[in-house]
Structure 1
């Protein structure tokens, strides 16, 4: 895609931001596991961690996604950019889906409004890190610069 920057000067910062999101998800998941451990996997009894509603199921999902993001960040080579971009879309869709079922029995992850807002923010930040974290050759960078000047 010509409109996505290649070799952006702030790429290391975006990569670090992606890693911090992964660390946050792991910390949130571990704290959620400690808080809701021993309960039902998809309990809706009001368990909360860091001001956000959670249950054992969402805690496990958070840890798994956080680990995948950290591994992708460690590998680099545009794997992190792709994972961050697609997980950004995933978190935004998850936030919208849970917002739609917030006060129903279909709220399997025990989301609250705060959890929806944080999930959407995580999605936006991951999407930003994915869009600006791409690395390419000098030819790809020049092609991006040329396409940018035409617009």
Structure 2
């Protein structure tokens, strides 16, 4: 993708932001598991963590997604770029689906409006991190610079 920056000067900052986002998802998952312990996996009740609705199922999903983001951040080598971009799209689609089903029986993850907003922000942050974290050779950076100047 010629339009994606290669070796962006702020990529260490973006990588750190991605790691912090992964840590947030893991922390939310752990707190959600603690708060919803003893409930059904897909319970639709008033369990909230950090102002967001959750249940055991969504807490486990948050742990899984956060672990994937953290693993990508630790491994690096552009694997974090791929993981962050794909998970960003997945999380944003999940938040939009949650918004569509928020007042129905299909709200299996016990979403609230706050949960939807936070998930959308997390997805956008991961997308930004994925777009500016790419590392490449000098030739790839030069090709990106030339493509950027053409526009």
Measured against the shorter chain, the TM-score band is over 0.9
- Cα deviation, 1:91-147, whole Å, max 9, x if unaligned, reads 110010110101000000000000000000000000000010000000000000000
Q: CA deviation at 1:46?
A: 1.3
Q: Which runs of 5+ in 1 are unaligned?
A: none
How many pairs does the alignment contain? 151
Structure 1 counterpart of 2:104: 104
- Cα deviation, 1:5-58, whole Å, max 9, x if unaligned, reads 000000000100000010000100000000001110000011000000000000
Give the TM-score of the pair, scaled to structure 2.
Answer: 0.99
In the alignment, the residues of structure 2 paired with residue 100 and residue 4 of structure 1 have an alpha-carbon distance, to the nearest angstrom, of 32
Alpha-carbon RMSD = 0.4
SS at match of 2:16: helix
Structure 1 counterpart of 2:16: 16
Give the TM-score of the pair, scaled to structure 1.
Answer: 0.99
* Aligned counterparts, 1:1-150, within 5 A: 1-150=1-150
SS at match of 1:105: coil
SS at match of 1:3: coil
Q: CA deviation at 1:69?
A: 0.7
In the alignment, the residues of structure 1 paired with residue 127 and residue 94 of structure 2 have an alpha-carbon distance, to the nearest angstrom, of 14
Q: Which runs of 5+ in 2 are unaligned?
A: none
SS at match of 1:44: coil
SS at match of 1:141: helix
